[in-house]
Amino acid sequence: MDDFDYSGLSPAFSRLSKPAQRALLNNGICTPEDLSRITLKELLRFHGMGKGSLNTLTEILREQGFNFAE
């Protein structure tokens, strides 16, 4: 059973796996806007974040009008 509190995470990230969601929250990323402030390279350093989530996150950012930082 997963007792982790996901309530602070934007519903936009609900398509991600639980480990990827935890990785975002553990690094202070709660919204697509927060995510747009970091680079892909920084994102891949997050424990629990795999390359498999990159396409989904890129799609989420674009849907919300954002991109990853350069």
Express each pLDDT in 27-53 by its tens digit.
999 999 999 999 999 999 999 998 889
Q: What burial class does residue 24 get, using C-beta atoms within 10 Å of its C-beta: 0-12 exposed, 13-18 middle, 19+ buried?
A: buried
pLDDT for the residue 2: 74
Domains and CATH numbers, the chain: 12-63 (1.10.150)
pTM: 0.92
Alpha-carbon radius of gyration of the chain: 11
DSSP 14-63: GGS-HHHHHHHHHTT--SHHHHTTS-HHHHHTSTT--GGGHHHHHHHHHH
Q: Answer yes or no: are the C-beta atoms of 24 and 46 closer than 8 Å.
A: yes
Q: What is the pLDDT of residue 50?
A: 85
Average pLDDT, the chain: 95
pLDDT at 1 > cutoff 80: no
